[in-house]
């Protein structure tokens, strides 16, 4: 669409909005255009003024009316109000009386639309005594827990626990919780040397130093683990009713998938057990175990496990992914909400590779090209419509 036709299209949406006749689709498209740039807000007010002043006119509006005009492909730009002014501009003038003051106020201080940006390193650390430490933008940290465990930040922004500094013979376990908000990510090294990468909208609760027969942590959200091998002290991740037990391995756990809890194994061997039924499912590298709480069963399938862990390296890679699960990932990473106009689109599948730090519109355009599903951006909402 060239600039003239685009401006005419936008003028039509604005005029219908002024009359109160703009439908949901037109509203979504207009909001998406406004969200592209703060300058578009000023442009909208300018067009509003031009509509009222009679600088915009549409061929045959008088004869066929606005509804037929929506279906027309041919638009004509006029400089002055001519024979259709009585039909087109009279109702606009009436509407103008209601918003004229708002237009002038907007011209003086046009609202700035907050851009949607990719996530970054962000987290809140909750200590054993309940104190919270905001780790955003922090470059140095030197704390000590009740048991003597030292908590520091490395140069590469990894939260580290030095278990060797803990009190000798200490039996009581003190717990910390690391909260990752939407639009954030963080990594830490536990006192046993296990490394954990936490995705957006995730919570991990863990002992500051492991003292018992097992090493147990609690997860809500998505995390990738590289567990330090210790045959005498199994490592267990509890995630929404599922326990993943390992001795030394690399795996990804995701509780965001709509169907249940997903565990993908990259290296080693794990047993995935339901805390509700006691059922256990062992999986091997490049296998995915999906625990379905509704049916109380595990579904195991072969996958390329690397695809499920590349998020920690700044990559979105989807292999026949359900659209709902894909958009959940994007919503958490870009800190937006997703609104579905049609529920059926959730079950569409998508495969693709995208940079995790790309503009969200670039990613949505790629999904549209592959599936035909349409997206519009309204503030911090992603509106999903069918083909």
| 3-class SS of residue 292 | strand
| Mean pLDDT value of segment 178-185 | 95
Instruction: Retrieve residue 96's tokens.
Output: 């103008």
Give the separation between CA 43 and CA 39, rounded to whole angstroms.
6
At 109 the pLDDT is 47
Token pair listed for 373? 């599903």
The residue to which tokens 């939260």 are assigned: 159
Could you give the 3-state DSSP secondary structure of residue 192?
coil
Q: Which residues contact 58 (CB under 8 A, 6 or more apart)?
A: 8, 12, 69, 72, 75, 76, 84, 88
pLDDT at 1 over 60: no
| Cα–Cα distance for residue pair 317/291, rounded to 1 Å | 22
* Choice among 25-29, 244-248, 369-373 with the minimum mean pLDDT: 25-29
Parallel, antiparallel, or unpaired: how do β-strands 222-226 and 215-220 relate? unpaired
Its sign, for the CA torsion 178, 183, 188, 190, is: positive
Contact 9, 75 (CB under 8 A): yes
More confident residue, 109 or 340: 340
291 pairs with which residues across the strands? 261, 298
DSSP 83-108: TTHHHHHHHHHHHHHHHHHHHHHHHH
pLDDT-based confidence at residue 38 (cuts at 50, 70, 90): low
Give the integer Cα–Cα distance in Å for 35 and 115.
Answer: 7
3-state secondary structure (DSSP) of residue 362? helix
Residues in the chain: 387
Looking at residue 33, what is its pLDDT?
77
pLDDT at 68: 39
* Main-chain dihedrals φ then ψ at residue 302, nearest 5 degrees: -80, 135
Label residue 169 by pLDDT band (50, 70, 90).
low
Looking at every residue in the chain, the average pLDDT score rounds to 80
Q: What is the pLDDT of residues 39-59, one digit of tens each?
A: 777 677 667 665 554 444 433
Q: Are strands 195-198 and 184-189 parallel, antiparallel or unpaired?
A: antiparallel
Side-chain half-sphere exposure of 156, counting CA atoms within 13 A: 4
3-state SS assignment for residue 6: helix
Residue 118 has pLDDT above 50, yes or no: yes
Q: What is the pLDDT of residues 258-313, one digit of tens each?
A: 889 999 999 998 999 987 778 889 999 999 999 998 888 899 999 999 999 999 99
Q: Does the pLDDT value for residue 60 go beyond 50?
A: no
Is the model's pLDDT at 224 over the cut of 50? yes
CA distance 168 to 155: 28
Task: Give the pLDDT mean for 108-117.
Answer: 63
Express each pLDDT in 279-290 by its tens digit. 889 999 999 999
% of the chain with per-residue pLDDT over 70: 76
Q: Would you say residue 216 has pLDDT above 90?
A: yes
Q: Are 155 and 165 in contact (CB under 8 A)?
A: no
**Distance between first and last Cα of the chain:** 20
- CB distance 215 to 194 below 8 Å: yes
Q: Kind and range of the H or E element at 385? A: strand 381-385
% the chain with pLDDT above 90: 49
Question: Looking at residue 345, what is its pLDDT?
Answer: 93
Sequence-distant (≥ 6) Cβ neighbours of residue 26 within 8 angstroms: 13, 16, 17
Please indicate whether residue 91 or residue 246 has the higher confidence score (pLDDT): 246
Binned at pLDDT 50, 70 and 90, residue 4 comes out as low
Paired sense of beta strands 337-340 and 381-385, if any: parallel
Alpha-carbon distance 308 to 317, whole Å?
Answer: 8
pLDDT of residue 373: 94
226 or 30: whose pLDDT is higher? Answer: 226
Q: What element of type H or E holds 14?
A: helix 3-19
């Amino acid at each position: 669409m060239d600039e003239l036709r685009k401006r005419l299209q936008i003028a039509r949406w604005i005029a219908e909005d002024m009359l109160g006749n703009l439908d949901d689709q037109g509203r979504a498209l207009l909001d998406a255009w406004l969200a592209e740039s703060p300058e578009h807000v000023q442009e909208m007010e300018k067009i509003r003024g031009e509509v009222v002043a009679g600088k915009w006119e549409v061929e045959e509006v008088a004869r066929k009316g606005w509804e037929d005009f929506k279906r027309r492909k041919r638009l004509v730009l006029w400089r002055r109000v001519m024979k259709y002014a009585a039909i087109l501009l009279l109702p606009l003038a009436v509407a103008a009386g209601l918003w004229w003051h708002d237009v002038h106020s907007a011209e003086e201080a046009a609202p700035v639309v907050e851009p949607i940006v990719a996530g970054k390193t962000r987290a809140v650390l909750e200590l054993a005594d309940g104190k919270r430490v905001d780790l955003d933008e922090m470059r140095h940290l030197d704390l000590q827990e009740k048991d003597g465990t030292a908590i520091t930040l490395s140069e590469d922004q990894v939260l580290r626990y030095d278990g060797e500094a803990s009190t000798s013979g200490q039996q009581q376990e003190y717990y910390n919780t690391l909260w990752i908000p939407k639009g954030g990510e963080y990594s830490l090294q536990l006192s046993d040397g296990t490394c954990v990468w936490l995705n957006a909208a995730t919570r991990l609760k863990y002992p500051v130093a492991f003292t018992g027969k097992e090493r147990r942590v609690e997860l809500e959200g998505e995390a990738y683990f590289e567990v330090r091998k210790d045959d005498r002290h199994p490592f267990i991740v509890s995630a929404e009713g599922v326990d993943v037990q390992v001795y030394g391995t690399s795996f990804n756990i995701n509780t965001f998938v709509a169907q249940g809890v997903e565990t993908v194994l990259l290296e080693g061997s794990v047993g995935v057990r339901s805390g509700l039924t006691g059922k256990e499912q062992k999986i091997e590298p490049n296998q995915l175990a999906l625990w379905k709480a509704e049916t109380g069963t595990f579904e195991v399938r072969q996958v390329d496990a690397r695809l499920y862990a590349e998020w920690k390296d700044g990559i979105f890679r989807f292999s026949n992914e359900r659209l709902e699960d894909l958009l959940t990932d994007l919503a958490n990473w870009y800190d937006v909400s997703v609104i579905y106009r049609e529920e059926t689109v959730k079950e569409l599948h998508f495969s693709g590779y995208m940079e995790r730090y790309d503009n969200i519109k670039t990613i949505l355009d790629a999904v549209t090209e592959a599936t035909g599903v349409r997206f519009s951006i309204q503030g911090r909402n992603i509106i999903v419509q069918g083909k």
